[in-house]
Amino acid sequence: MHTDFAFNIVNQMSFRVDSLQTLREMETRLKGEPGVTIQGPITHGNALSLYFRDPEGNRVELLIDTPWHVPQPYRIPVDLSTPDKDLWGFIEQKARATPGFKMRTEWQAEIK
């Protein structure tokens, strides 16, 4: 963390990963790292994210996109140990129940 400022000017660093399996593997790996604090995982409706603080206190987000869009802010805790079908079903059900829900492709077409 940069110490010349009274606050951290960077909220977080975000990185897309290639799969749910990779997100799970990273959660397992990070749990064993000294100085790392896991803050998540959560769904934003449009993404499935794992947040953590590195040993220097920087916030990092690892994420995979979903095919859905919901207005933000949106944050629902999830359990990455849930079987794939059940996890994706839970995320979709919650997203579809949110006012403003759209398929990502529909939302993307609207903002172009």
Q: What dotted CATH number matches 13-111?
A: 3.10.180
Position 81 scores a pLDDT of 97
pLDDT at 40: 86
Residue pLDDT tens, the chain, 112 long = 555 666 667 788 999 999 999 999 999 999 989 999 999 899 999 999 999 999 999 999 999 999 999 999 999 999 999 999 999 999 999 999 999 999 999 999 999 8
How far is residue 87 CA from its own chain's centroid? 14
- Give the pTM: 0.87
pLDDT for the residue numbered 112: 85
Which residues does 66 contact at the CB level (< 8 Å), separation at least 6?
Answer: 43, 45, 46, 47, 48, 91, 92, 95, 104
Burial of 70 from C-beta contacts in 10 A (0-12 / 13-18 / 19+):
buried
| 21 sits in which H/E element | helix 20-31
Say what the pLDDT of residue 79 is: 97
